[in-house]
Structure 1
Amino acid sequence: MRADAVGGWPRLAAVWCSAYGAANVWWLANPGSPFAPPEEVFSPGRWMAVALAFSAAVACSLIAAGAGQRRPAPARWTLVGVAWVAGAGLILYSYMLAISVATLLFGEVDDWGSLLARAAGATAGALTLVCAVAEQRRVRRACPHCARVHGRSPERRTDPAPWWARLAAYVAIAGCSVRVAALILDSVTAHRPPFALGTPFAVFVVLLILAGTLLPLALVHRFGRIWPRWVVPLAGRDVPRWLVLGPAWFVGAGLAGYFGVAGMAAWLLGEGNLAQAPVWRVSMEMFGYTAWGLGLLVAAVSYYGLTRPACPLPNSPYRVPMPLA
């Protein structure tokens, strides 16, 4: 399939976002309904979901209609910007999805309505971002066969990650280190172990630490794109890109949304149990998690470009000479 082919994605996104927005309108009008999930805490309110959903629906509808291709570049970039803001906003509004999925894995889900509503909101945001990326590629005149801007985009998996991606990966590792340090310091202060080995929480912490060390390194180093020699059965083969990208985007969006948006808001407003916690611990948790999430998201952008399939047309007319160093 051609990289610039939009197909039915914008139409699907427009319908999905409209349905999600309509559901939130109904929940606003019927707050006491047993089918209405509770509003997300520390968010501006359900009206925000309505505004974001219908903005995304309009942007995706215009992309589906091909309106952007018949308008000047500034208008098309505006359409791309609206789609990016609305899509990212819907994902951030559904920041509790990561927590809901974590509780689902441990069999402790107590509100399926909220889980499904958050999943619907995050899906609406993801579909909108897919449309934004597709339209952005056309505005940038990217190669329709591989989505690269030849001469400016990496052409092979073996190309090095850019400096800003490596910086973001190590920021994520630093954020993870700060959070783990806060956990250890808090345990030492309370004279108790950080967690009991063998418990579900211990397994969760181990997985989380791997997501803060191995995952960011895989995003910017060769072993995350090409299986290294010590992985004997797979050595030299391509690492499936979504094996790395999926966890990076899910964990990054979850941490940035839950702690960077909701956690910071709760801390600044002095709500919840954060007001009684020591300032050093809360600051280490909030800033550590936020840097961790944002670092993963930025590094994942680079990984996404580095692991694109090779261009099927070596002599594509979209290729331009590489600039001289």
Structure 2
Amino acid sequence: MARTATLLWAAAYGCLRIWFATGHAPDWKFPGGDLLIPDWAAVVLCVLSAAAVLAVDRRPSSWFLIRTLWALAAAWVAAAAFALLDVVGGVLPGLGLPFDLPGMLSRFAALGGAVLLGRTALTYQRRLGPRRSLAEIPRWAYVGAWAAVAGCLIRLAAQAAVGFDKTPYGASLSMVLFEAGFLLAGIALPLLLVYRLGRIFPRWMLLLPGAGLGGGITAYFGVGLLQMIVAAIQGKPMYGDIGLPDAFFWVAVPAYLVWGVGLATATYGFHLAKPVRRAQPIRSVI
């Protein structure tokens, strides 16, 4: 089912990208378009996605092809990194982030393809045998969790250095909620993923935000860091319209990237660890 759905998605989305590439794209509100890659590159990625699915169907025991599917899923997440702004702007409209319905739908379609590729990879992966479980949270997951906390705190320190009043968003209830979520995702969530207190929650309550935020932050700010490096090499300004010094971005963006990678790492460690079995209530035999 996942294989067929992925092939249908690759064909449909590939045709849409060809339509955009031939001069029929809408006027996107985000700079650079709906995705962070050119239209023809998206077409090539659709072809590669379909080819990988067909290849793994012929060689279902190939770990190389299964990992290729995961890599392609990650590539689509990175290409649709602006979806993180769509989610934040949709949940907290008071922040004033630009809203672009066609762009949002296109990015969510790309993320849908990433989900289908991951689901296909997982299907073939499970056919090779049961997932290896760990008795406890691995040590590298603790390293990831504390790296995420460090990245969040460094980001806060960078903001403190330039002043908390110098943000592109005005003071509002949405901003207060954003800051609360910022601290929950940067400090509480990583630590809950690796310490015993987090075991009292249903696993999905930590796995879903951990994987979503970890992947989203890594993709968005990983691409952003690459763009900054290219701009620096070309001698072009970086985010000059925001009114903050370049030094701020050279600290904040890598800190975000460390935060995202650390959170994703801690989430994966939490996923590998066996769930804690809760004690069954004692039933009376009288």
Smaller-chain TM-score bracket:
0.7 to 0.9
Residue aligning to 2:76: 90
Change (3 A) 1:309 1:135: farther
Change (3 A) 1:193 1:52: closer
- The match for 2:107 among 85, 110, 118 is 118
Q: Deviations over 1:130-162 (max 9, x none)?
A: 222332343xx322xxxx23xxx22xxxx3210
Change (3 A) 1:247 1:306: same
Letter in 1 for 2:121: A
Secondary structure of 1:161's aligned partner: coil
Matched, 1:10 2:12: no
How many aligned positions are there? Answer: 269
Shift of 1:32: 5.1
State TM-score, norm by structure 1.
0.73
Larger helix proportion of the pair = 2
Residue aligning to 2:250: 283
8 Å Cα contact 2:28/2:100 also seen in 1: no
Matched, 1:185 2:161: yes
Secondary structure of 2:43's aligned partner: helix
Shift of 1:223: 2.1
Letter in 1 for 2:67: G
State TM-score, norm by structure 2.
0.82
Q: Deviations over 1:141-188 (max 9, x none)?
A: 322xxxx23xxx22xxxx321011111111111000100111111117
Residue aligning to 1:245: 207
Question: CA RMSD for the aligned pairs?
Answer: 3.0
Residue aligning to 1:56: 49
Matched, 1:273 2:239: yes
Residue aligning to 1:220: 194
Matched, 1:211 2:210: no
Larger CA deviation: 36-45 vs 108-117: 36-45
Matched, 1:142 2:118: no
Residue aligning to 1:130: 119
Shift of 1:33: 5.0
Matched, 1:302 2:276: no
8 Å Cα contact 1:37/1:117 also seen in 2: no
- Identity over aligned pairs, percent: 26
Shift of 1:212: 0.5
- The match for 2:58 among 53, 67, 74 is 67
Shift of 1:215: 0.6
Letter in 1 for 2:139: W
Provide the rounded CA distance (Å) in 2 between the counterparts of 1:281 and 1:167: 25
Residue aligning to 1:173: 149
Q: Deviations over 1:9-63 (max 9, x none)?
A: 1211221222112211111113455699974489341222222222112222344
Secondary structure of 1:30's aligned partner: helix
Q: Structure 2 regions of 5+ residues with no counterpart?
A: 278-286
Q: Structure 1 regions of 5+ residues with no counterpart?
A: 1-7, 228-238, 311-325
Provide the rounded CA distance (Å) in 2 between the counterparts of 1:54 and 1:201: 41
Provide the rounded CA distance (Å) in 1 between the counterparts of 2:154 and 2:84: 21
8 Å Cα contact 1:184/1:194 also seen in 2: no
Provide the rounded CA distance (Å) in 2 between the counterparts of 1:195 and 1:93: 25
**Any residues of structure 2 matched to 1:154-169 within 5 Å, and which?**
154=134, 159-169=135-145
Provide the rounded CA distance (Å) in 1 between the counterparts of 2:29 and 2:125: 36
Change (3 A) 1:212 1:81: same
8 Å Cα contact 1:97/1:119 also seen in 2: yes
Provide the rounded CA distance (Å) in 1 between the counterparts of 2:11 and 2:257: 30
